[in-house]
Amino acid sequence: VIRRRARLFDGTTSRHTDVELALYADGSLQLRGEGVHLDLHVNDVRVSPRLGATPRVLSLPGGGRCEVDDDDELARALRAGRGKASVWHRWIDRLERHRAAALVSVVITLATLAAVVQFGIPALASAVASSLPASAEARLGDGALAALDETWFAASELPPERRAALEARFDVLAAGVEPKPRLVMRAGSEIGANALALPGGLVVLTDELVALAERDDEIFAVLAHELGHVVHHHSMRAVLQNTGIGVLIAAALGDIVSISSFAGTLPTLLIQLQYSRRFEREADAYAVAHLARSGIPPDALASMLERLEQSHGGGAPVPAYLSTHPDTRERVREIRRGADAQEEGSSSS
C-alpha cells in the first residue's frame, strides 16, 4: 500500500481538506481526512498525465479534485489500473525524462528543419508554381513591372530601330519557351546595367546593359540567363518559397521565442538568400545549354558577367552567404566549364 498526503478540493468551493491518500495493490483508493471518508477504485478517477515534477491531479467522480505531489513509486502505482488512453501520455513522459531522447530530439529536429528548408519548401513551391494558371502569374508579373516602373525605371531611350532589332532577335532566341517571354526595355536609372525576369515571362532589359555590352552576343547571353529564370518559374517560386520560409520560421519561433521575435528575421533572410543563389546557378546552367543550341558562344555570358561586376564597382566585399548571387568568379568558372562540356558533347556526336 502507498500512502501520501494530499489536498482535496470539492470542485464547488476553493476550500481544501487535507487528506491521506492510500492506494492498495488491488487498485482500491482511500481518501481519509476531516469529514472525508471516500472509498474509490483507481479506475474510477481520471489521473492527470505525468509532467515533469508537477503535482498529479486525481479527478474524482462528482467533481472533486485531489492534488498529490508526484514521485516514481506513486506514478507506478497509479499506472496499474489505467486504460488505453494513457499509453500515449506515458510514452511522451518517458521520452521527456530521458537524457538520450533529448539528444536524439535535438538531432532529429535540426535535421528535419534542414530537410524542409533544403528540399521540402522548394519542392512545394515548385509544384504550386507549375499548377498556377498562367493568367495569375502574368497578372503578378504585370503588377511587379508597374511597381518597378513607378519607383525605378524610366522609358527606354534607345532608338526605335535598335529596339526593334533587339526584340526581333529576342523572339528567335525565346522561340518555344514557355510561358511565352516578352522583352521590355527600360532606362535603368539608379539600377544601372541589369536584366531581370518577372513572373509570367516578362524579361526587363536596361539601356545601360545594352550600352555596356561589347557585342550583341553578350546581351543575348544575359537574356538567355533570364530565360532560364522564366522557364523554371523562378520569380514565382521565389515569392512562394520566401512566403513559405517566413511562415515556417514564424510558426517555429512564434510560440517559442516571444522573447525575441527579432531573432527570426536573420535566419529568414539567410535562407532566402541561399534560395536566390540556387536559382542563379540554375539559370546559368540553362543559359549555357540554350546558347550553345542557338549558336551563341556561351563564353559571352562569362565575359558579360565580368563586365557587369566591374561596372557595379568591382565587386564590393560582400561575404558569399550575404549575397543574392553566387560569387562572380565562381559563376564564370562554372559557365566556362559548362561551355567546354557542351563543345565536347557536340563534337563527339
Partner 1 sequence: MVAAQPIATLTSTGARRFQFRGNAGEFFRIWIVNLCLSVVTLGLYAPWAKVRTLRYFAANLAVGGSHFDYDADPKRILVGRLIVGAAVGLYSLANWLYQPLGIAMLVAGMFLFPAAVVRSTAFHHRHTLFRGIRFHFHASYATAFKVLLLGPLFGMITLGLAMPWWYARRQAFIVENSRFGTSQFDFDGPAGPYYGVFARAVGVWLAGGAAAGALFFLIKAQLPSESEYLPFVAAACALPLVIGGALSYGISQAGFTNLLYRNARISDLRFRSELQPAPLAWLYVSSGIAVVLSLGLLTPWAQIRLARYRASALSLVAPSGLDAFVQGSEPAEGAGALASEAADLFDFDLGL
Q: Which residues would be at the binding site for partner 1 (CB under 8 A)?
A: 5-7, 9-16, 18, 20, 33, 48, 51-55, 57, 59-65, 67, 92, 95-99, 101-102, 104-106, 108-110, 112-113, 136, 140, 251-257, 259-260, 262-263, 266
CB atoms within 10 A of CB 257: 12
CB of 11 to partner 1, least distance (A): 5
Cell of 100: 538520450
Q: Which residues, in sequence order, are CB contacts of 325 under 8 Å at separation 6+?
A: 276, 277, 280, 331
Cβ proximity to partner 1: between 55 and 345 the closer is 55
Nearer to partner 1, 11 or 345 (CB): 11
Q: Maximum CA pair distance of the chain?
A: 103
Nearer to partner 1, 51 or 211 (CB): 51
List phi, psi (to 5°) of 70: -90, 145
What Rg value do the Cα atoms of the chain yield, rounded? 33
- Tell the smallest beta-carbon distance from residue 309 to partner 1 (Å): 24
CA nearest to 68, candidates 78, 80, 81: 78
C-alpha cell at 337: 566549364
Strand, helix or coil for residue 244 = helix
Q: In the bound complex, what is the minimum distance in angstroms from residue 107's beta carbon to partner 1?
A: 9
CA distance 247 to 253: 10
Minimum separation from the CB atom of position 270 to partner 1 (A): 12
Specify the residue, 249 or 332, whose C-beta has the smaller distance to partner 1: 249
Distance CA 109, CA 252 (A): 11
- Give min distance, CB of 210 to partner 1, in A: 34
Of 9 and 152, CB closest to partner 1 = 9
Question: What residues have CB less than 8 Å from 107, skipping those under 6 apart?
Answer: none
Task: Report the nearest approach of partner 1 to the CB of residue 15 (Å).
Answer: 4
Output 33 or 297, the one with its CB closest to partner 1.
33
